[in-house]
Amino acid sequence: MMKVLKGGRLIDGTGAGPQAGATVVIRDERIEAVTTRAVGEWPEDAEIIDVSGMTLLPGLIDCHDHMAMHGYGLATRWGIDEPQSTRTLRTAKVLEETLAMGYTAVRDAAGLDAGFKRAIDERLIRGPRLVISLCIISPIGGIGDRVSPSGFSCCVPNDPLLPDGVVNSLSDVRPVVRRVVRAGADVIKCATTGGASSRPEHGPQDGAFNLDEMQALTDEAHALDRRVMCHALGGRGLRIAIEAGVDSIEHGCYLDEEPELLDQMAQRGIFFVPTFAVYDFHRKSPFPHVRERAHHLQEHHVASLRRALAAGVKIAAGTDAGGHGHPRNALEIECLVRAGMSPLQALQAATGWAAECLGRERDLGTIEKGMLADLVVVNGDPLSDVAILQHSENIALVVKGGEVAANRLPQGRLGGL
């Protein structure tokens, strides 16, 4: 089956500037051709979609999301405030809505189990392509160790689909990684520092894990062909993560204090996934220690992005959505522009560079011959205002693997659908 998207403004995700009058030819699930030349005839059965006046983008990618998290309150985080079936359906709705906003791939940074991926593959529900991590691997007291402010550990029965990520000792590291992979993880998520919303006493520059433990973790993950995404904001934990050879630094708010680390990241191809949107949210947190941290890191986070770009580190967009931000994930793209990226760079961070960060650049992230046909047709020009991507009325058409996943095109543009 052939689809032809005709006459749009193309931003292909490679970082190249826009091309006017572009036509993208899709055969089955892949892109067969991309051209700006006038093409005369199409086969009888080709479906011609007029996208003139609109912008064609690769399907957007969020490299850091928590699709199954629906709030920061303790009962919600622990999953005890509603029936599990309600929660599952709520997550399914987030997956559908996120896809409809043009996000055709999402890397989940903990919380989403492999059943959702299977449900999407089996077409029980609609959703983005998923790269999942299941849980956060950290030592006792790290952010993956769920203890209430009163000192109780989590009261929820252990879910075998979401293995416990708490590591007790060096010898425990490899078995935990193996268990997480056995349960279906595509990527290993770990944490070497606290964060804005972690417990008091375990803040953004407080370390977790020692170097030997992190080396065992990255070594085991890589032996199992899994990349390592590491939550690390600043200080000793950030240094250990990079030294141990993780594949992406998530948040990375205090990278500006470690210029030599940025050079190492550039040399070793370690991605930086800043997460600006979540800290806007945390600056309004009901908890004083969370607000304080989110304010303190703000300027550093912006400086980290600028220094990273200057050092040649590739940036991938991540919202850290979950409890906030769904399905307006494209807010992060606007945040990247406010922090100093050009709109074209910020779009690359959410497409081409994001696909590289996931290790899926041979299939995803750019509109080029041979790639999977994941793309978004946008009303208007995101290069003059990236904020238009946050509003559903501007997301005219979403195609995933050559199939229409959401369609808000004006009548007559898309025959027969």
Closest distance to Zn ion from the beta carbon of 278 (Å)? 7
Closest distance to Zn ion from the beta carbon of 136 (Å)? 8
Closest distance to Zn ion from the beta carbon of 356 (Å)? 20
Closest distance to Zn ion from the beta carbon of 45 (Å)? 45
Interface mask toward Zn ion for 272-311; x: CB under 5 A: ----------------------------------------
Piece of 90-98, 319-327, 348-356, 381-389 that binds Zn ion (CB under 5 A)? 319-327
Of the pair 256, 320, the CB lying nearest Zn ion is at 320
Of the pair 108, 213, the CB lying nearest Zn ion is at 108
Q: Contact with Zn ion (CB under 5 A): which of 11, 109, 137, 414?
A: 109
Piece of 104-112, 139-147, 150-158, 367-375 that binds Zn ion (CB under 5 A)? 104-112
Residue 227 near residue 210, CB atoms below 8 Å: no
Structure tokens given for 163: 């293995």
Closest distance to Zn ion from the beta carbon of 229 (Å)? 9
Phi, psi of 293 (to 5 degrees): -65, -40
Closest distance to Zn ion from the beta carbon of 295 (Å)? 19
Of the pair 23, 133, the CB lying nearest Zn ion is at 133
Of the pair 97, 320, the CB lying nearest Zn ion is at 320
User: How many whole angstroms separate alpha carbon 305 and alpha carbon 274?
Assistant: 7
Closest distance to Zn ion from the beta carbon of 231 (Å)? 6
Closest distance to Zn ion from the beta carbon of 318 (Å)? 8
Of the pair 320, 363, the CB lying nearest Zn ion is at 320
Number of residues near Zn ion (by CB under 5 A): 2
Which amino acid, one-letter code, is at 280?
A: D
Long-range (24+ apart) CB contacts under 8 A made by 223-227 are 224/177, 224/178, 224/181, 226/177, 226/181, 226/185, 226/186, 226/187, 226/188, 227/187, 227/188, 227/358, 227/359
Of the pair 109, 331, the CB lying nearest Zn ion is at 109
Piece of 36-44, 108-116, 166-174, 204-212 that binds Zn ion (CB under 5 A)? 108-116
Q: Contact with Zn ion (CB under 5 A): which of 320, 334, 356, 363?
A: 320
Closest distance to Zn ion from the beta carbon of 342 (Å)? 26
Closest CA to 119 of 133, 132, 101: 132
Residue 382 near residue 57, CB atoms below 8 Å: yes
> Does residue 13 come out as left (phi exceeding 0), alpha (psi in the -120 to 50 range) or beta?
left
How far is residue 75 CA from its own chain's centroid?
25
Of the pair 68, 265, the CB lying nearest Zn ion is at 68
Residues 343 to 382 in contact with Zn ion, rule: CB under 5 A: none
Of the pair 58, 207, the CB lying nearest Zn ion is at 207
User: How many whole angstroms separate alpha carbon 30 and alpha carbon 44?
Assistant: 19
> In sequence order, which ranges of 196-330 are alpha helices (DSSP H)?
211-223, 235-244, 259-268, 276-282, 288-311
User: How many whole angstroms separate alpha carbon 314 and alpha carbon 348?
Assistant: 10
Phi, psi of 81 (to 5 degrees): -95, 0
Of the pair 55, 319, the CB lying nearest Zn ion is at 319
Interface mask toward Zn ion for 10-29; x: CB under 5 A: --------------------
Angle value at C-alpha 86, between 84 and 87, nearest 5 degrees: 65
Of the pair 26, 241, the CB lying nearest Zn ion is at 241
Closest CA to 54 of 341, 408, 415: 408
Piece of 13-21, 105-113, 299-307, 402-410 that binds Zn ion (CB under 5 A)? 105-113
Closest distance to Zn ion from the beta carbon of 111 (Å)? 9
**DSSP states along 254-272:** TGGG-HHHHHHHHHHT-EE
User: How many whole angstroms separate alpha carbon 197 and alpha carbon 211?
Assistant: 24
Q: Does 62 bind Zn ion (CB under 5 A)?
A: no
Closest CA to 65 of 189, 154, 167: 189
Site residues (vs Zn ion, CB under 5 A): 109, 320
